[in-house]
Amino acid sequence: MTRRLGVTLCLILSCVLGISAVGYTQVSKTVQLLPAQMEGGKPLMQALKERATTRAFSPEKLPDQLLSNLLWAAFGVNRSDGRRTAPSASNWQEVDIYVMAANGVFVYEAKAHSLTPVASEDLRALAGTQAFAKEAPVTLFFVADYARMGKATQEQKDFLAPADTGYISQNVYLFCASEGLATGVRASIDRPALVKALKLRPDQKIILAQSVGYPKK
């Protein structure tokens, strides 16, 4: 069997079994996400009506396409000039989305629409102080990189970065309402443990976490 045939059979098997490259196996290389689907979903007014916070999640993993759509909706590039689906002060784009799943932690790279691995362990136990946090298949961490915020004062950084995070979090809420997913944002995070596990710099600040998954049946 040639190497090319072997790779082809593996890809076919993955598709048949529904195996997600992000959700089922440990990943050590950059993961190229599927192109985001920019059509479909519920009308905006209906999504606003159904927007809600949930604290009970099914352990069922999110399909690759759904994860791709989620991250693009949250803070993806939606214009040729590199601007995004959520506003940011002075277009600093200082908020990074860290994606925590069973197979590790990744950083969403909006320009390439890809995931860069930063930890290979299942760190979901650090995702929050409540029990449900480790049950959700995906938790998004919004980390503000103050180093990108130019000459802003400390006071400006401390209120602008959380404001920008709020815009992204609301995008996630509306996407989840549109797709019938459960989600909930929280500030109760073991920040010191996560900073250590993710090797964050002092000027990288964990603002909020938001879990996403299917509703618990």
Q: Which domains does the chain have, with CATH numbers?
A: 22-213 (3.40.109.10)
The structure's pTM equals: 0.88
The 3-class secondary structure across the chain, one letter per residue, is CCHHHHHHHHHHHHHHHCCCCCCCCCCCCCEECCCCCCCCCCCHHHHHHHCCCCCCECCCCCCHHHHHHHHHHHHCECCCCCCECCCCHHHCCCEEEEEEECCEEEEEECCCCEEEEEECCCCHHHCCCCHHHHCCCEEEEEEEEHHHCCCCCHHHHHHHHHHHHHHHHHHHHHHHHHHCCEEEEECCCCHHHHHHHHCCCCCEEEEEEEEEECECC
Residue at token pair 């136990």: 125
Per cent of the chain over pLDDT 90 is 79
pLDDT of residue 157 exceeding 50, the answer is yes
Residues 41-59 have a mean pLDDT of 96
Mean pLDDT of 86-113: 97
| Residue 21 pLDDT level (bands cut at 50, 70, 90) | very low
